[in-house]
């Protein structure tokens, strides 16, 4: 009898903890997330937006074009995670480090302030720029 009670009590505690965690992270609860990072924390990480933008850009940017992904406010020490993410998600493009002046620049969460690039597409997660 004590063993059954202990099992049910533990299961109830774990269920309450799980519901609390899901409530903390916010909804939607029964939808497959767009990226793996959507249900990890409340904060939107730049790498999450890099995943989304790389998927979109792979369909919009011509094959073989040079491209990079960056967060403009990190200049000149850009986070390599962002363009490494694009390397894995854009195999038909030449993904280069941010300092290489590629044909296309994908920014996440912020606009780019560079007169040699113009906006091609804008999304909630970021913007795709093309060289003039």
Q: What is the mean pLDDT of residues 45-59?
A: 91
Write down the pTM of the prediction.
Answer: 0.79
111 falls within a domain = yes
Q: Across the chain, what does the average pLDDT equal?
A: 89
Which pLDDT belongs to residue 23?
83
- Residues with Cβ within 8 Å of residue 52, at least 6 apart in sequence: 34, 35, 123, 125, 126
Q: Both 99 and 71 in a single domain?
A: yes
- The answer to whether 72 and 110 have CB atoms below 8 angstroms apart is yes
Class of residue 129 by CB neighbours under 10 A (exposed 0-12, middle 13-18, buried 19+): buried
| Residue bearing the bigger pLDDT, 46 or 30 | 46
Predicted confidence band of residue 5 (pLDDT cuts 50, 70, 90): very high
- Do 75 and 23 lie in one domain? The reply is no
Residue 40 is assigned to a structural domain of this protein: no
Q: Would you say residue 52 lies in a domain?
A: yes
């Amino acid at each position: 009898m004590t063993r059954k009670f202990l099992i049910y009590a533990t299961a109830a505690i774990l269920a309450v903890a799980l519901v609390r965690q899901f409530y903390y992270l916010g909804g939607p609860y029964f939808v497959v997330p767009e990226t793996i990072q959507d249900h990890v924390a409340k904060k939107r990480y730049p790498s999450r937006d890099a995943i989304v933008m790389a998927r979109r850009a792979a369909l919009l940017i011509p094959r073989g074009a040079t491209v990079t992904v960056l967060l403009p406010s990190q200049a000149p020490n850009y986070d390599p995670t962002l363009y490494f993410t694009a390397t894995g998600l854009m195999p038909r493009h030449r993904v280069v480090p941010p300092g290489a002046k590629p044909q296309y620049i994908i920014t996440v969460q912020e606009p780019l302030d560079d007169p040699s690039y113009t906006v091609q597409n804008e999304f909630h997660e970021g913007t795709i720029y093309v060289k003039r």
